Structure 1
Amino acid sequence: MKDMKYLISVLIGAMSYGILSTIVVLAYGQGYKLGEVVGTQLLTGCILAWLLAAFTKMRLNRKRSSGGSTAPADTPAFQALTWKRRLLLMLAGAPTVVTGLLYYQSLRYIPASLAIILLFQFTWISVLIQAVSKRQRPDKITMLTLLLLFGGTLLAAGILGQGTSRFNLLGVALGLLSAVSYSLFIIFSGKAVPSAHPAYRSAWMVTGGMVLLFIMFPPHFLFNGLLWGPLLLFGFLLGLFGAFIPPVMFAIGVPHIGGGMAGILGAAELPVAVLMSSFVLNEHVSGLQWIGVVLVLLGVVLPELYKLRWSNSEAVAS
């Protein structure tokens, strides 16, 4: 039970991601454009991330000066990042912007409940990319996982019950591309300056994403008065639930519960997004689609449960 608070923190982070699609659809309903929505999200997230980084630095310096920290001054937590490492972190933040742009744009053409299901295809796409890069055939548990994900997606998307005629192909393509982008982010982001403090990593990655976005979509909303309307509220909510709460909650919980359990809890994003779409946006979600959601969740958590069981059995044997 001592790890319960860390489990809850990771769960909160995952559930926060599930709220984003509903907020974006509501912002579109007010007439705001893609660049304005994502721009205000990253601007808010960047401000919050740097406030957290400043607070973290003050707290670490206070502990060091008072002798309350056992970490030496040259450990990664206290080291100043070189500009080369800062640039690497900023580049690592770029795929998240691409993922957000593709995912949010798909919401213009397809229901939010379908968009999140397409985004969750990053699970088998990541497996495929790694299998091709390593030239290794997936094992039996991976193949079973892929079957669950494929079958669950067909049900959750409503393809078996209603066919494909009601789906916008451009929206579906954008949703799948967001999954590919997110898969690449997962594979490469962990390699970017892993020794840096999580607060600093998050701040520089969000900054890099914001710079890239403002190059692609110049932030006219900062000067034309749009920012001081409902857009500010949407941007604050998106920045809070998308760029601030999840990284903080994951940084707190993941080191204590492990990546396997974090992956299981991370699947909470899917049902939250579907529930929000159903109750807030009044999107129809049938019983057959809910069965598909459950199958997708099983496909996400099955490999992690298998890893946990395997590691536990090895620990007992040793």
Structure 2
Amino acid sequence: MKYLFSVLLGAMSYGILSTIVVKAYGQGFELGEVVGSQLLTGFILSWALALFIKLRSKRKGKPQAAVQNLIAHKLTWTQRLMLMAAGAPTAITGLLYYQSLRYIPNSLAIVLLFQFTWIGVLIHAISQRKRPNGIMLLTVAILFGGTLLAAGILEQGLSNFNLLGVALGLLSAVSYSLFIIFSGKAVPSVHPAFRSAWMISGALLLVFILFPPHFLFNGLLWGNLLLFGLLLGLFGAFIPPLLFAVGVPHIGEGMAAILGASELPVAILLSSVVLHEQVSILQWTGVVLVLLGVALPELVKQLSLKSLAGRNGSNSAS
């Protein structure tokens, strides 16, 4: 249960971010300042955790080989650069998603970001040159229908939405799908704390190149921006990756995907309660359909495994 709760809490943390960003925009802060302060906080926290693990491992007197494996002493610069490159989509996702919040409601932006579920299936099918099976096609259909309802498109029509904001939201979903693909393949043998630290280093470097961090020198950081940066860094760049690294290996990726979907209702609930956005019953119905679509492949998989186990048990008994 603690591993299930770990992944659930990590996903719920992600659901808080968009509300904090909207509040930061309300204070007059710009995109580069918001994302830059978030990643800077995550960078500091991630490397602090990595240093703590390194010192603790040495203090416990672990065998040298084990220590080197744990703290990644033998990481080459090629591997470090691979991890930093794998972290770049994190920055791009944040930039696209947060910018979309300037044009469309928070409740719509999070629904668009959640299109990474079927976009990931599409990318995987194209890369493998393999057609998705019937369950995956049904899942995509449910997700698409749920999205039309949750986004309010059937009620309001597309003409009432800012097309630039919609495009940015969809591009953030594409970027997030690429992050999921690349992050799982980049030097997987390295300890999660060090993988996370190097990946967020790459994300921070990219954002600082695109948006030079003037806020570090003009005094903005020591005002309300510091509070927003701490909250975004804590709930976006530090807590979720850490909790996922703890929980996912024990519960499996399928169950993690189901629990990870809790980000969606949390974000929409906060949009309604904190930002006072109008969320209709039809939109909540769409949210439920999206959650069902996310859970469907894992539910079918579990039912198949139980059925197979039952048949094997019957054959053994006979």
TM-score when normalising by structure 2: 0.94
User: Higher helix share goes to which structure?
Assistant: 2
2:264 counterpart letter in structure 1: L
Asked whether the 8 Å contact 1:260–1:308 carries over to 2, the reply is no
Distance 1:198 1:274 in 2: 30
Q: Are 2:152 and 1:155 equivalent residues in the alignment?
A: no
Question: Which residue of 1 is the match for residue 216 of structure 2?
Answer: 222
Q: Are 2:125 and 1:108 equivalent residues in the alignment?
A: no
SS at 2:185 equivalent:
coil
Number of equivalent positions: 311
Q: Are 2:241 and 1:247 equivalent residues in the alignment?
A: yes
Asked whether the 8 Å contact 1:142–1:303 carries over to 2, the reply is yes
Distance 2:96 2:14 in 1: 15
2:166 counterpart letter in structure 1: V
Question: Which residue of 2 is the match for residue 300 of structure 1?
Answer: 294
Asked whether the 8 Å contact 2:57–2:67 carries over to 1, the reply is no
Q: Are 2:70 and 1:77 equivalent residues in the alignment?
A: yes
Question: Which residue of 2 is the match for residue 62 of structure 1?
Answer: 59
Residues 304 and 218 (structure 1), Cα distance of their counterparts in 2 relative to 1, 3 Å cut: same
Gaps of at least 5 residues in structure 1 are none
Deviation at 1:74, TM superposition (A): 6.8
SS at 2:69 equivalent:
coil
1:28 counterpart letter in structure 2: Y
SS at 1:77 equivalent:
helix
| Deviation readout 1:172-192 (Å, 9 max, x if unpaired) | 000000001111111121110
Distance 1:218 1:134 in 2: 39
Question: Which residue of 1 is the match for residue 5 of structure 2?
Answer: 8
Q: Are 2:29 and 1:32 equivalent residues in the alignment?
A: yes
Question: Which residue of 2 is the match for residue 19 of structure 1?
Answer: 16
Distance 1:136 1:252 in 2: 32
Asked whether the 8 Å contact 1:73–1:79 carries over to 2, the reply is no
Distance 2:302 2:50 in 1: 33
Question: Which residue of 2 is the match for residue 238 of structure 1?
Answer: 232
Distance 1:82 1:309 in 2: 44
Asked whether the 8 Å contact 2:18–2:267 carries over to 1, the reply is yes
SS at 1:73 equivalent:
helix
Deviation at 1:62, TM superposition (A): 2.5
Distance 1:13 1:215 in 2: 29
Tell which deviates more after alignment, 295-304 or 283-292: 295-304
Question: Which residue of 1 is the match for residue 255 of structure 2?
Answer: 261
Distance 1:195 1:314 in 2: 33
Q: Which among 231, 241, 265 is matched to residue 271 of structure 1? A: 265
Deviation at 1:59, TM superposition (A): 2.0
Question: Which residue of 2 is the match for residue 139 of structure 1?
Answer: 133
1:220 counterpart letter in structure 2: H
Distance 1:41 1:212 in 2: 13
Matches of residues 153-232 of structure 1 in structure 2 within 5 Å? 153-232=147-226
SS at 1:282 equivalent:
coil
Gaps of at least 5 residues in structure 2 are 314-318
TM-score when normalising by structure 1: 0.94
